[in-house]
Structures are given as C-alpha cells and as structure tokens.
Amino acid sequence: MTDHFPDLVQALQSNLNVSCLQEKFLTTIIITDDIEELAIMKHRFDSFEHEMNANASKVAVVNQLARQLLQVEHPNAAEVIAKQNDLNDR
C-alpha cells in the first residue's frame, strides 16, 4: 500500500494545482445582477465544491499513508512529513 504513496502525492498535487488555479479564478469574478452571469458563477462554484470534496478523500488517503510510513520509521520520514504538510497547507 505504501508503495503507491509517491503516485498518490503526485496525482493529488496535480489536482490541487488545478484547484488552486480555479480558486484564483473564482476569487476574481465580479459580482453582477445579470441572471445569466449569476448562473455561470453558480455553476463554477458548484464545480469547484465538487472538486474540493473529491480531493478531500485523496488527502485523507495520503495522510493515512504518511502516518503508516512514519509508524514504521521510513528512512525518508522528513520528506514524508514535508510533503504531507505541503499538501495539507493547500
């Protein structure tokens, strides 16, 4: 199970990078009274929320794998902790 840790971290980082770009995009939206623009914004927020929820389960898996690696005193424990912290800070 722990053999997949680097792959999961890389996949999660890719997803989080996309989400960070979407988050930046969403924070720059100008609020309007136009019903069509509001519908577009709602769709974007709904998509963003869905992606964040999907990533939450991946983050949980990475955190569990990191804990397992630390429990068995993995030789790269410092790197595991650093990557775990980086992912959780996002």
**Contact criterion met (CB below 8 Å) for 88 and 59:** yes
Q: pLDDT value at position 19? A: 59
CATH classification of 2-89 is 1.20.58, yes or no? yes
Q: pLDDT value at position 1? A: 47
Residues 77, 53: Cα–Cα separation, whole Å: 28
Domain ranges of the chain: 2-89
Q: Going residue by residue through the chain (90 aa), what tens digit of pLDDT does each one get?
A: 455 666 666 665 665 555 565 666 666 767 677 888 888 878 888 888 888 788 888 888 888 888 888 899 888 889 888 888 888 777
Predicted model pTM: 0.54
